[in-house]
Amino acid sequence: MKNLRDFTYEELLEEVRGLGEKPYRAEQVYGWVYRKCATDIDSMTDVSKALRERLKESYSVEGLKVLEVKSSFDGTRKFLSELSDGSRIESVLIPEGDRLTLCVSSQAGCALGCRFCMTGLSGFTRNLTLSELNGQVFAARGLLNEGETITNVVLMGMGEPLNNYDNVLRFVSILTDGRGFGFSHNKVTLSTAGLVPGIRRLGAEANINLAVSLNATTDEVRDRVMPVNKKYPLEELMDALRGYPHNGKKHVTIEYVMLANVNDSIEDAKRLIKLLRGIPCKVNLIPFNPFPGARFQAPENHMVSTFSKILQDAGYFTIVRASKGSDIQAACGQLKGRYGEEEGERDSAGG
Ligand code: SAH
Ligand code: SF4
C-alpha cells in the first residue's frame, strides 16, 4: 500500500496519470488529503466511486501514531510519535503572542553529534519520509484548541533537515502550496547546523527562511561543540550565508546557543559582530537548556544581557529566546524521541 500523504502534487499527478485518469482527479485527491485532511479514501465524496475503489486497491491514508502528548502551563504542547519501524520522534506546538509555531523533526536522531544537543548525543536512526514530515502537521492539527490555527512551521526539531534534503524540499513544496497546506514562504523556516552545500542548494531551489546554528565565534570552539565545523569551517559557512538570497527582505536568523564559559564572553560578542558583517541577519540568543548528563551549563543572566546589548548596540536585531515548555522538556535541544525513559537513566554519551 502506498500512502497518499507520500506524494507532492506533481507526484500525485503522475500516479493518477498512471491509472489512466484525468489530471483534475489529482487535484481533487490532493485537496482531500491536504486541505480537507481526509483520513480515508471513502470520504473523498466528489471522486467517482469507481476511482475510489481503484485507489483503495493500492493506496491508503496513514497518519503518525501519537504515543504521548505533554502540555505546558504556557500552552506549549509536545507530542511523541511512533513511526512504522518503531523509531520515535517529537514535535512541538509553541504559542507566542498571536503566532502558533509548529516545530517539526526532520530525522529520527541526528548524525551531527553536537555536544550540547540531546538529539545529537543519542545518535542517528534515519531520515523521515514525506508522510512522516506531513504527519506531524496533521497530528498537530489534531491537538489545536478551538479557534487556533498553526501560523508558522519551523524545521527545528530533531535532526538536520539539510541531511534529509530531498524529502524536506518535497515537504516544503506541500507546506507552501496553496492547494496543499497553504503557508506563505515567509512562515516556513529551516534551521541548519551549517551544511554549506545544502545552504547553497536551498538558496537556489527554495524561497523559505533560513536559520543557522552558529553557536561559536572561533573554529577552535566550534570544532569542539559542533564537529560538523571541521567539514564546513566558519569562513566557508559565513560565505554561504552572504550568498543566501534575501530577496531584499529576507534575513537569515543566526541562532547562538550560549554555553557558560565556552562562548558567552564579551570577546565572543565582538567576534560575532565581525563574523556577521555583510550578512543581513537577526540574532536569536538561546541560553543552553541543560539536561541530565550534559557537559555544559546555562550562562548567567548578566552574561546573556551583556552579550545581547553588545549586538544590539552594533545594530543587530537580537532577541533572547525564552525557554518555552521547559516544564515538559520541550525546549530547544531537549527533544530525544524516547519513551518511558526516566530522565536520570540517560548516560552521558558523546564526548
Ligand atoms: N539540526 C538543526 C535543527 C535542529 S536543532 C540545527 O542544528 O540547527 C535546533 C536548535 O536547537 C539549534 O539552534 C541548536 O543549536 C539548538 N540546541 C540544541 N541543543 C540545545 C540545548 N541543549 N539548549 C539550547 N539550544 C539547543
Ligand atoms: Fe543535530 Fe541540530 Fe542537534 Fe546538532 S543541534 S546534533 S545538528 S539536531
Residue 181 corresponds to which cell in the numbers above? Answer: 497546506
**Distance from residue 117's CA to the centre of ligand 1 (Å):** 6
Residue 269 DSSP label:
H
Q: What is residue 122's predicted lDDT score, i.e. its pLDDT? A: 87
pLDDT digits (tens, 9 = 90+) for 294-323: 999 999 999 999 999 999 999 999 999 877
Specify whether 332 is catalytic: yes
**Ligand 1 pocket: which of 156, 188, 285, 321 to mutate (most atoms within 8 A of CB):** 156
> Looking at ligand 2, which atom is closest to the CA of residue 159?
8
How much distance in Å is there from the Cα of 52 to the middle of ligand 1? 44
Q: Reply yes or no on whether 117 is catalytic.
A: no
Q: Domains in the chain and their CATH numbers?
A: 2-60 (1.10.150.530), 65-345 (3.20.20.70)
Strands 188-192, 209-213: pairing kind: parallel
**Separation of CA 22 and ligand 1 centre (Å):** 45
Tell me, what's the pLDDT at 342?
Answer: 43
- Cα distances (Å, whole numbers) of residue 203 to 99, 112, 211, 272: 26, 22, 12, 23
Give the closest residue to 157 by CA, choosing from 349, 350, 347, 329: 329
Atom 9 of ligand 1, residue of closest alpha carbon = 156
Nearest to 310 by CA among 347, 342, 345, 285: 285
For the chain, 351 residues long, the average pLDDT of each consecutive 10-residue run is 96 95 94 94 94 95 95 93 94 95 96 94 95 98 96 97 98 96 96 97 93 98 98 97 72 96 98 95 95 93 97 97 77 66 39 29
Q: Cα separation of 263 and 143, whole Å?
A: 38
Q: What is the SS3 assignment for 213? A: strand
β-pair type (281-287, 252-258): parallel
